[in-house]
Amino acid sequence: MNTSKRVDLKIIILGSIGVGKTSLLNRYVNKRFTQEYRTTLGASILTKEIGVDNTLVKLQIWDTGGQERFKSLVPSFFKGSDGCVLVFDVTDQDSFYDLEGWREEILLQIPLEYKDYPFAVLGNKIDVDARQVASDEAEAWCTAHNVSYFEVSAKEDINVDHAFENITRNALLQDSEWKDCYLTNSISLGDNRTATRQNCC
């Protein structure tokens, strides 16, 4: 790979429970898909190196739990992030309506002078027949919010790489000097069965 520089980027992925966030990340990072479903508790972190426009990018992607009680953790996940992927399930209308709330949670954390924080919206499970959210409806919402939209399938590996490369490219275009550095070498926070509470030092 002929690259002239290396950049570390932190991307967070948000969406309601069961929309397939973890499946999308496993497809993108590990090139695999499993039917086994396990709720993400807190956050897990996956990393991947890709080349984008002569830049070697080390992506650190934070996968967050979609339960309502985890929304209070969004501020800590957001710190140091370079972009956000919002995911909904095209077979679940409510998960699409929930996008507004997840987006607002992020916008509350963005400094006023930083207006171009990159988002991408992924409509997952397009391989399933029982669709409730039309493409036109999702595209209209994304156009109104100036957000890129991609219809994807983690199971069938449809458009997944393209979607993540888009958010990576957009993140590279942004000036991130305002950020504090919160990148970590950790692979996961907590586990899928128990939550760990720590006091702030």
Residues 6+ apart with CB under 8 A from 193: 41
The greatest distance separating any two alpha carbons of the chain, rounded to the nearest whole angstrom, comes to 50
What are 86-116's pLDDT values in tens digits? 999 999 999 999 999 989 888 888 876 666 8
Q: Give one DSSP letter per residue of 175-188, joined into a string.
A: --TT--------SE
Q: How far apart are CA 188 and CA 168, in angstroms?
A: 21
Q: Say yes or no to pLDDT of 81 above 50.
A: yes
Q: How far apart are CA 33 and CA 42, in angstroms?
A: 21
3-state DSSP call for residue 94? helix
CB atoms within 10 A of CB 97: 13
What are 123-144's pLDDT values in tens digits? 999 999 999 999 999 999 999 9
Q: What is the pLDDT of residue 65?
A: 64
Is the distance from CB of 140 to CB of 8 less than 8 angstroms? Answer: no
Q: Distance of CA 163 to CAs 51, 53, 149, Å?
A: 15, 16, 8
Residue with the two structure tokens 């890129």 = 148
**What are φ and ψ of residue 35, in 5° steps?**
-80, -15
Residues 6+ apart with CB under 8 A from 3: 51, 54, 55, 56
Q: Distance of CA 41 to CAs 49, 70, 106, 140, Å?
A: 25, 8, 19, 32
Write down the mean pLDDT value for the chain: 81
Is the distance from CB of 153 to CB of 159 less than 8 angstroms? Answer: yes
**For residue 194, which amino acid is it?**
T
The two three-digit tokens of residue 1, written as one number? 């790979």
Taken in order of first residue, the domains within the chain and their CATH numbers are 5-184 (3.40.50.300)
Please name which of 100, 108, 107, 119 lies closest in space to residue 166, comparing C-alpha atoms.
119
Q: How far apart are CA 116 and CA 200, in angstroms?
A: 31
What are 15-34's pLDDT values in tens digits? 998 999 999 999 999 999 87
The average pLDDT across 185-189 equals 45
